[in-house]
Amino acid sequence: MSDNRELSTVLPVAPTRGRLRPLGLDEVRITGGFWDRRRETNATATLDHCRDWMERVGWTGNFRAVADGRIRQDRRGREFADSETYKLLEAMAWQTGTSTGSGAAFDADIAALTEAVAAAQEPDGYLNTAFGHPGQQPRYSDLEWGHELYCYGHLIQAGVAQARTQGEGELTKVARRAADHICATFGRGGIERVCGHAEIETALVELARLTGEERYLDQAALFIDRRGRGTLAEGEFGRVYHQDDLPVRDATVLRGHAVRALYLASGAVDVAVETGDEELLAAVGRQWEAAVARRTYLTGGMGSHHRDEAFGDDFVLPPDRAYSETCAGVASVQLSWRLLLATGDPRYADLAERTLFNVVATSPAEDGRSFFYANTLHRRHRGPAPAADAVSPRAESSLRAPWFAVSCCPTNVARTLAQLPAHLATADDQGIQLHQYADAEIATSLTGGHTVALRVRTDYPSGGNVTVRIDRSPPGHPWTLSLRVPAWTEGATAYLVDPDGNCRTVDPGTAEVTRAFRPGEEIRLELPVAPRWIEPDPRIDAVRGTVAVQRGPLVYCAESVDLPGGREVDVVRVDPSTEPEDGPAGTVVAPGELVAQDGPVDAVWPYRPLDRATVSVAEHTGIVLVPYNSWANRGPSTMRVWLPTTET
């Protein structure tokens, strides 16, 4: 199952085939800037925070309770609570595997958590604290909601992460025993059904990639093929919730529960790549396209229903009831990354960038110790701050909360940030491709064994200049450096300056420089990050008559704490006939006005005969906007991304 290419051994995703070759955490290092700060907070605050909360709420204790035979009375958390320990283990492993300084501190944590997990595994490989023990429901008696295979998926991903960062250890062995149990139990002639929450598929493929064992891939392919054939009972939300309404290769758009849909699509890409199934790969590509064109928020967020945490119908993208779950953002990045590796299409990196900066980066607070579960685009009430020492409801808090009853998001953010350097660049036979921009050092061997090394210097996303300096290059051996020109530059002008100082404009897509680079040469990409008005497709009814501001990849928002006189954001109107401008400290100032609140506030009925009365303007002023990912770090506030215009 290989095309004989050499891959790093420190790879979160290691497809054996595909258009682009991923670079490992040993080949790409983030050295400064936006993501370096986020990763440092992740390493020094979030990972400990997650470990401590899971100990406190008893989720890690569940494993010990199984070993001690007291799980029936002592189990804590929802049915999928085990998966949080696994996702934390995965995050710690990737953090350990990156070259920044804070990694080694997690070896002891990994060992201790692994010991607890291993002690709960049954002799036949079964491992779940919610099922199968005396007094509990039997194993696999609730595939719709039980999440047993979902939990295995995260266990296996953690085991793979350990193998690729620390070398195969106890966690990897536990994961392999679980995978063997799955193959024995869910193989042909076994339980021929699927899990209500996809995740096992992508994990089994990665384990096959790690171990070379085809049977893990076969089992993943079986799960993909079985989905959409009604092997799960239909629940209140319909078969579509579990993507069990249509076979993966027949579906035309992502649908149902957003995280489930995106995990499933990721697993389908993995299976398609490893089995050479072009039809399946193309099907997922079409689903991605349709979802991005019609079911995605400006932030990259996916999922507009609170009721079932699901994709809405096309163009149903309400900003004030946006769900845009953090985990759906994580899952979308994961899907786009797999599609990028498979196809090389820069659109996937475009969406990943948007989602990373505006969903994944929005969830954690500045201190890395509280999180948004849902990422609304319009908050109407300040509301009270969530309790600092209590578990919060998942989607209702007005500020980030330290932990949730369903707390999938914190560990998902953590594992994403821990492996983020791997998303920056890839290689192929022609050279190196830069997909995401950050201060970084990259070194790898090109085809033929030629070593290249380069460093990226940029103040992206604040600034648009990206300088790539060649540190090492095979003398006299030409290769191609490719740089993604983000789709958000459309309508403005981006420039590429080659090592000879020649400057040319570059269109959205990919800009390339091919030459026999010499050490010390520099290539410069100049991206137009001036703030710009963005308008929505007129079919997105919920934001008609509004505009948003984007600056580079960052979506901006108005937040009440920046308005004069304690006003709330619903008094803001902006004037899109004049461009927004950069303000101090990363803000943008948009021309606009604050409308008076006197008239309609006391209305007894909010509809009236059309009279075209002009709104009473209290004050013409510049409206200060801040990056969406930074909002709600200054106490309770109201906030909106889409701003009504003075024209409506």
Whose Cβ is closer to its own copies: residue 500's or residue 611's?
611
Cβ atoms 218, 179 nearer than 8 A: no
**Residues in CB range of 169: below 8 A, 6 or more apart:** 114, 162, 163
Tally of CB atoms within 10 A around 411: 29
Pairing status of strand 479-485 against strand 494-497: unpaired
Q: Which 3-state string (H, E, C) describes 435-483? A: CCCCEEEEEEECCCCCEEEEEEEECCCCCCEEEEEEEECCCCCCEEEEE
Sign of CA dihedral 537, 542, 548, 554: negative
Say which amino acid occupies 385.
Answer: A
CB atoms within 10 A of CB 319: 23
C-alpha closest to that of 300 among 363, 257, 250, 350: 350
Instruction: By CB under 8 A, tell whether 507 contacts its own copies.
Output: no
| 439-445/28-32 β-pairing | antiparallel
Least spacing, CB of residue 288 vs its own copies, in Å? 10
Structure tokens that stand for 392 in this block = 């919060």
> How far apart are CB 595 and its own copies at their closest, in Å?
8
Site string for its own copies, 532-561 (x = CB under 8 A): xxxxxxxxxxxxxxxxx-------------
**Amino acid at site 66:** V
Q: Does 316 bind its own copies (CB under 8 A)?
A: yes
Both tokens assigned to 574 = 């902006």
> Which residues have CB under 8 Å from 190's CB, separation 6+?
184
Q: Report the Cα 290 to chain-centroid distance in Å.
A: 19
Residue selected from 292, 401, 561, 624 as contacting its own copies according to rule CB under 8 A = 292
| Closest separation in Å from C-beta 567 to its own copies | 13
Phi, psi dihedrals of residue 37, rounded to the nearest 5°: -65, -45
Rg over CA atoms, the chain: 25
Per CB under 8 A, the segment of 104-112, 163-171, 452-460, 603-611 that binds its own copies is: 603-611
- By C-beta, is 318 or 402 nearer to its own copies? 318
The piece of 244-252, 256-264, 310-318, 515-523 that touches its own copies (CB under 8 A) is: 310-318
When the beta carbons of 497 and 534 are compared against its own copies, the nearer one is 534
Q: Does 70 contact its own copies by CB under 8 A?
A: no
Least distance to its own copies, CB of residue 75, Å: 19
40-48, 160-168, 429-437, 529-537 -> range binding its own copies (CB under 8 A):
529-537
Q: Is residue 490 part of the contact set for its own copies (CB under 8 A)?
A: yes
Pick 97 or 627: Cβ nearer its own copies: 627
Min dist CB 541 to its own copies, Å, is 6
Residue from 4, 502, 614, 648 that binds its own copies (CB under 8 A)? 648
User: Helix 107-119 vs helix 82-97: angle between axes, to the nearest 10 degrees?
Assistant: 150
Which part of the chain contacts its own copies (CB under 8 A), choosing from 111-119, 185-193, 484-492, 619-627? 484-492
Site string for its own copies, 627-646 (x = CB under 8 A): ---------------x-x--
Q: Does the footprint of its own copies cover residue 600 (CB under 8 A)?
A: yes
37: contact with its own copies by CB under 8 A: no
Closest approach, Cβ 610 to its own copies, in A, equals 4
Question: Residue 35 Cβ, how far from its own copies at the closest point, in Å?
Answer: 23
Which residues inside 322-361 make contact with its own copies, applying CB under 8 A? 347
* Span near its own copies by CB under 8 A; candidates 279-287, 288-296, 408-416, 519-527: 288-296
CA distances from 222 to 246, 258, 335, 465, 500 (A): 15, 22, 20, 47, 54
Residue nearer to its own copies on the CB measure, 188 or 612: 612
Judge contact between 267 and 194, C-beta under 8 A. no
Helices 258-275, 326-343: axis angle to 10 degrees equals: 20
CB-CB contact of 247 with 229 (8 Å): yes
DSSP state of 385: P
Under rule CB under 8 A, residue 606 binds its own copies: yes
Q: What is the dihedral of CA 426, 432, 435, 439, to 10 degrees?
A: 100
Our finding on whether 314 is near its own copies (CB under 8 A) is: yes
Contact between 492 and its own copies (CB under 8 A)? yes
Our finding on whether 609 is near its own copies (CB under 8 A) is: yes
507 class by beta-carbon count within 10 Å (0-12 exposed, 13-18 middle, 19+ buried): exposed
Binding residue (CB under 8 A) for its own copies from 19, 116, 315, 480:
315
Nearest to 126 by CA among 89, 151, 103: 151
Tell the smallest beta-carbon distance from residue 577 to its own copies (Å): 9
Residue 150 C-beta: closest distance to its own copies, Å: 20
Q: Does 614 bind its own copies (CB under 8 A)?
A: no
Nearer to its own copies, 238 or 564 (CB): 238
Residue 594 near its own copies by CB under 8 A: no
Q: Is 313 in the site for its own copies (CB under 8 A)?
A: yes
Instruction: Decide if residue 306 touches its own copies (CB under 8 A).
Output: yes
CB-based contact 559:626 (threshold 8 Å): yes
Q: Which is nearer to its own copies, 440 or 639 (CB)?
A: 639
Contact footprint for its own copies (CB under 8 A): 236, 238, 289, 292-294, 296, 298, 305-307, 312-316, 318-321, 347, 378, 380-381, 393, 396, 405, 487, 490-492, 532-548, 570, 576, 595, 600, 602-611, 615, 642, 644, 647-648
